Amino acid sequence: MADAKVIVFDEDRPRRRPAGRRVRVASEPQSGPGPEASVPPVEPVADGVRGAGGSGWDRRLAGGLAFLRRRITGEYEVDEFGYDEELTDQVLMTLMRPLFDRYFRVEVKGVENIPKEGGALIVANHSGTLPLDGLMLQVAVHDHHPAQRHLRLLAADLVFMLPVVNELARKAGHTLACAEDAQRLLEAGELVGVMPEGFKGIGKPFGDRYKLQRFGRGGFVSTALRAGTPIVPCSIVGAEEIYPMVGNAKTLARLLGIPYFPITPTFPWLGPLGALPLPTKWTIQFGEPIATDGYAAEAAEDPMLMFNLTDQVREQIQHTLYRLLVQRRSVFF
């Protein structure tokens, strides 16, 4: 867990998946005692049990038991991509918030530029050696947007080849970075996040920090044009310094089948302790949306238009990065 990805947008990768609906995951009826029998229904808490100020804990306990019962009995829903909204809200977001609020102390700006409803494509810079910026972006959209919208990140193939990570990524709403999936999500009114720099962004050396890499071939612009949804540029400051990448063991990376093997001032010298990110102070700023609904249907096939819009998005993100860096007083405070 847009490319971990790590988020690479590859519009040429063929993908075929039948359109579908949200799927209710439920256990088959059983003749003998089933999961329902092993988990008693949650009873209302008696008034006498509630002490002063204790009703909040009672409700949390009851809600937690009800959540566990639904997970055990299979009474929950996932969509055709495997997205589990309840698990994301109740568990995954809860696990990521301490990083967001206390460790990186993320400041969010311009969230009003994200539409209150309907599809939109959020395009952000990518950095940090490990793709924590995608996860923090997901929390920023959900927790700071008035409508608490969910961001569906586009991720690279590598994410879905890793055990455990694959399942968690799908449960959190991530999907393979291909034009077909992105367009279906946008047309369904979802917020989609993409980081077009991909591995080039998160795997660049520390000396190139905050210098945007190539934005692919403009596939994200073509997808937004086809769906008629706005493009929201997003600039993230702070992620570049969490793992200062001073070297790359390319031979070891090839042996492991990964894009790069980072060498930082603490990793691999300090072992597992060196894998802890530095507690930098982050800022995430959403820029003014770029409308795409005014173009003709054939505009998505116009290479010059795609080049111009891609360059416009890239320049807006880069300009905002420079401005935020000038305003930043300290990497850590």
Q: Give me the pLDDT at residue 191, please.
A: 97
Residue 320 in any domain: the answer is: yes
Other beta carbons within 10 angstroms of residue 270's beta carbon come to: 12
User: What confidence tens digit (pLDDT) does each residue in 129-139 have?
Assistant: 999 999 999 99
- Closest of 2, 260, 18 to residue 126, by C-alpha: 2
In-domain check, residue 185: yes
On whether the CB atoms of residues 136 and 106 are closer than 8 A, the answer is yes
Strands 23-25 and 76-78: antiparallel
Listing from the earlier edge strand, what are the strands of the sheet with 151-155?
Answer: 107-109, 283-286, 231-237, 120-124, 191-194, 151-155, 175-176
Structural domain that includes position 136: 105-242+277-327
Task: Say if 210 falls within a structural domain.
Answer: yes
Residue 91 covered by a domain: no
Residue 172 in any domain: the answer is yes
What is the DSSP-derived secondary structure letter of residue 271?
G
pLDDT by residue for the chain (333 residues), tens digit each?
A: 444 333 444 444 444 444 444 555 544 444 444 444 444 444 444 443 344 445 678 887 888 888 888 888 878 888 889 999 999 998 999 999 999 999 999 999 999 999 999 999 999 999 999 999 999 999 999 999 999 999 999 998 888 888 899 999 999 999 988 889 999 999 999 999 999 999 999 999 999 999 999 887 778 999 999 999 999 999 999 999 999 999 999 999 999 889 999 999 999 998 889 889 999 999 999 999 999 988 887 888 888 999 999 999 999 999 999 999 999 999 998
Query: Can you read off the two tokens belonging to residue 14?
Result: 């063929």
* pTM exceeds 0.85, yes or no: no
Residue among 257, 201, 204, 179 nearest 9 (CA)? 179
Flag whether 205 is in a domain. Answer: yes
Quick one: pLDDT at residue 233? 97
**Residue 204 maps to a domain:** yes
Q: For CA atoms 236, 10, 252, 211, give the dihedral sign.
A: negative
First to last CA, the chain: 27
What's the structural domain count of the chain? Answer: 1
pLDDT digits (tens, 9 = 90+) for 49-95: 344 445 678 887 888 888 888 888 878 888 889 999 999 998 999 99
**64 CB neighbour count, 10 Å cutoff:** 12
Give the bridge partners for 262, in sequence order. Answer: 248
Q: What is the CATH number of the domain that holds 287?
A: 3.40.1130.10
85 assigned to some structural domain: no
Which burial class, exposed, middle or buried, applies to 235 when counting CB atoms under 10 A from its CB (0-12, 13-18, 19+)? buried
